[in-house]
Chains A and B, each alone.
Chain A
């Protein structure tokens, strides 16, 4: 049984192909302006890696912001449900899932069976999302992937005056102009991000184990700052790339559909 899951997000698109519950291949690429273009690129890219073609896929489920615009999927499912499902696959002991995506941040609570029982998302503001980090990295002239490593070397993190993305960016520029070490600015950015996310996590309540999915889960600076702010340990996902959680969840749902289940 071969299934595919495709997650068309605002910043990146992800696709996975699974066979009998195991990942055959996966892909993460920058999203195009049109969701169907991203979906085509992602599915073709992931198929190419396996040597399979679309007709070999028994069922495909789509998720993410562009889910309703993907022509080749059998069913669409919200990214909240898919991230919860994918997180459970990545870490079966997870009960609280923090997902930081390109333009939103979600916290999901799972019951002992792995079913999502509660969720909360950020309100309409880019701070606390991947876009926040992207804007800050650009303002600093570093790669997004460098932020975690940079902040780990910080001795004296700055405090950003505002968690508003535009104002925080102005703050970052100000700190750069004042020759503040780049490591301290990076740490300040990650702390600001963590404090926004911590508010959401606290309001839904924490249950162990806690894990993080989404691209920001790969930023060790945000993860450690969040652990410190919340006084908890966030268990690192090792089974596969945490950024794939939505696509994995979608592929899991595709399997459920094939088995005659209702999703």
Chain B
């Protein structure tokens, strides 16, 4: 477990340092809609950019303004402080409007602060709908990314390499699905904090190393004693890579036994078809991925998959959290609350800032009250 926690507790972890010392190059990306198999196939180290460890947002506020999600602001803060200078490239998507603005704000900050814009800076358009014409468009965009990577890094991404990377990444998904089945069982052998660290590490380690670590961990966990007697919580909503948020929930007697987060189970919920042409298989998997409210017209399916998870993981209550100014999750959480409560599933909405965890007293008060509510809940026989 320590290796996972260590890998996610620093931005430029020792695996990245080792990779760079051997002349390897690292490319960051901001969203789970980027098919990072492509980066792997190009011989690059794909690294999911986070806003973790930003102590304030003075640089972020300067370029973004105050009324916007604090996640991209923290990312820009770290970039402006030079914490992402180890990146040789960055891929930014319009995951949401705030994240789209990271592209222009980072470029603009780069005019004022020397050396913070990586040599490869790519805006990767991802449509908000899954249709035949958006799939066509997304295929073209993905090919544009492949050509840009080939041209900038002197790579030669071909189908054979892509297929190999797809197989490797699918292996990760299979392992994480096994991990998920341990997590959601009646007495999971690890806490939600540990679960988040394990999943997050997958975004910050070379997949070959990560898969080996994961296999080892799963073997250990098979016979590990389980945790029982706590209220089982599902954490839903905006991006969260903060172990501390989960620590508050679990410190009050909850156990985060499931999530639908983009630094969580969204990463491994579907595999890429290994029998189709690789680019086609990748774009289909990524664009059909509907778990983020950025995808229009798919609320009902998202609700359905949430309900399935709640049932299979025997969830007692759902915490619907969103980062302040997150329109997508903020509004969808309201719908989830309405529809889940209607079916007798207790929900609590929680708005927070991304970044250094503040107002923990107020957060704890709400979580305590919610857990007290769950403790009294009568479960039908």
Distance in angstroms between the alpha carbons of A80 and B348 in the assembled complex: 13
Q: Tell me whether A78 and B368 are in contact in the complex, defined as CB-CB below 8 angstroms, given that A115-B376, A124-B362 are known contacts.
A: yes
Distance in angstroms between the alpha carbons of A118 and B376 in the assembled complex: 13
CB-contact partner of A79 in B358, B365, B373, under 8 A: B365
Check A121–B372 contact: CB distance below 8 A: no
Distance in angstroms between the alpha carbons of A125 and B164 in the assembled complex: 52
Check B376–A119 contact: CB distance below 8 A: no
Tell me the minimal C-beta distance from A124 to chain B in angstroms.
5
Check A78–B372 contact: CB distance below 8 A: yes
- Does B359 sit at the interface, judged by CB under 8 A? yes
Number of residues in B with C-beta < 8 Å to the partner?
Answer: 16
Closest Cβ neighbor of A117 among chain B residues: B373
CB-contact partner of A119 in B341, B358, B369, B375, under 8 A: B369
Where chain B touches its partner, the secondary structure class is helix
Check B359–A78 contact: CB distance below 8 A: no
Check B372–A104 contact: CB distance below 8 A: no
Check B372–A65 contact: CB distance below 8 A: no
Tell me the minimal C-beta distance from A125 to chain B in angstroms.
11
Which of chain A's residues have a CB closer than 8 A to the CB of B366?
A: 80, 121
Tell me the minimal C-beta distance from B251 to chain A in angstroms.
11
Q: Tell me whether A65 and B365 are in contact in the complex, defined as CB-CB below 8 angstroms, given that A78-B372, A116-B373 are known contacts.
A: yes
- List the count of A-B residue pairs having beta carbons below 8 Å apart: 37
Distance in angstroms between the alpha carbons of A262 and B373 in the assembled complex: 12
- Does B381 sit at the interface, judged by CB under 8 A? no
- Does A70 sit at the interface, judged by CB under 8 A? no
CB neighbors of A among B350-381 (8 A): 351, 358-359, 361-362, 365-366, 368-369, 372-373, 375-376
Which of chain B's residues have a CB closer than 8 A to the CB of A78?
A: 365, 368-369, 372
- Does A47 sit at the interface, judged by CB under 8 A? no
Which of chain A's residues have a CB closer than 8 A to the CB of B375?
A: 262
CB-contact partner of B351 in A77, A104, A123, under 8 A: A123
Tell me the minimal C-beta distance from A34 to chain B in angstroms.
14
Q: Tell me whether A121 and B368 are in contact in the complex, defined as CB-CB below 8 angstroms, given that A115-B376, A116-B373 are known contacts.
A: no
Chain B residues engaging chain A, CB cutoff 8 angstroms: 324, 341, 349, 351, 358-359, 361-362, 365-366, 368-369, 372-373, 375-376
Q: Told that A65-B361, A78-B365, A80-B368 touch, could you supply 6 new A-B pairs with CB distance under 8 A?
A: A77-B372, A79-B365, A104-B365, A120-B349, A124-B358, A263-B372
Chain A residues engaging chain B, CB cutoff 8 angstroms: 65, 77-81, 104, 115-121, 123-124, 262-263
> Which 3 A/B pairs are nearest by Cβ-Cβ distance?
A80-B369, A78-B369, A78-B368
